[in-house]
Structure 1
């Protein structure tokens, strides 16, 4: 149960201002069904985090505790770099005529596959309790997707997410560097 809260917080912070949330807002406006699109995004994040938890569970037996900490530090550093990097808008998926649920699921799943949240899930899953890590990350990502869907594209884009994203990126970088130094026993 230890992994659920860190996974939730890391997912919320990583998803704010990220492309899956913006795609969710875009699709919610297009289909006029924000709850359906938010649910589809939550299911997509859940599927991706389940895959990450499985990978983490399979890696866990071969990693010593310092390697597990170093993996989480690398995930934090990469999330920090991703937060500082400028986000290009996602494709609007206008040619996808699959409906709100299926377009939302497949669009968000393909966009979020291998993103920062799933890397956090993988890293936390190697430390034990992989399903709690997946559940926490899924709930966090769903929370951000739900807010984005309810607000819609115009309101979501109106939030100062760029500055928040860069600030969080710097925090992730600092935390990752600190954790890496500890994992390498340099502190």
Structure 2
């Protein structure tokens, strides 16, 4: 639970405002096959977060506990800083002719690869004792957000006032990251 819940909460908060959820809504509207898009996004997120957690598991043994905590602080700060600019969806994948599952799987995997949610999952996996739980918590959160976006569609998903919430979540990530980093550096 030490890694499952933090990974779930952090990724849930980050994914609400990130492009993979919007791409999920776009693809659901385009294909009209919500189950296919959901399956594709689920596989993409499971693969991506498994890779992130594996990276954290590889890094962790060579790091001191303070270094692992500092990595987590840096990931939280990066997640906060990454949330201040308005996220844009660079490509709607309109030219892809591969079907709902394959387009969602490849498009979301490529879009999400190395994003702030995966960096958070890597850092939480390195910080905690169970990288598989970090991957699981992160994947479940990302899949849940993506599934809601699929059900709502692009218009409803993007129609609510996101800016104040996005800025509040970004500030929360920055404050938490600064607190963790200061403690890791033993400055406070």
Q: Indicate the TM-score class for this superposition, using the shorter chain for normalisation.
A: over 0.9
Structure 2: which 5+ residue stretches go unaligned? none
Structure 2 counterpart of 1:124: 124
For residues 97-132 of structure 1, give each alpha carbon's deviation from its aligned partner in whole angstroms, at most 9, with x where no partner exists.
100000000000000000111111111111221110
For 1:12 and 1:39, locate their aligned partners in 2 and report how far apart those are by CA, in whole Å: 18
3-state SS of paired residue (1:96): coil
How far does residue 54 in structure 1 lie from its aligned partner after superposition? Answer: 1.1
Write out per-residue CA displacement over residues 155-185 of structure 1, whole angstroms, 9 at most, x where no aligned residue.
Answer: 0110222221111001100110111110000
Q: Encode CA deviations 1:60-83: one digit per residue, 9 max, x unaligned.
A: 111111111000000000000011
Instruction: Return the alpha-carbon distance in structure 1 between the equivalents of residues 111 and 162 of structure 2.
Output: 19
**Structure 1 residues 90 and 23 mapped into 2: Cα distance closer, same or farther (>3 Å)?**
farther
- The CA deviation at 1:142 is 0.4
> Is 2:78 the partner of 1:78?
yes
Q: Secondary structure at the match of 1:140?
A: helix
Cα distance in 1 for residues equivalent to 2:65 and 2:73: 12
CA distance in 1, matches of 2:148, 2:90: 18
Could you tell me which residue of structure 1 aligns to residue 102 of structure 2?
Answer: 102
Structure 1 unmatched runs, 5+: none
Partner of 1:111: 111
The residue matched to 1:39 in structure 2 has which SS? Answer: helix
1:53 aligned residue: 53
Q: Tell me how many residue pairs correspond in the alignment.
A: 187
How far has the Cα of 1:40 moved from its partner? 1.0
Q: CA RMSD in A?
A: 0.9
TM-score by length of 1: 0.97
Partner residue of 2:141? 140
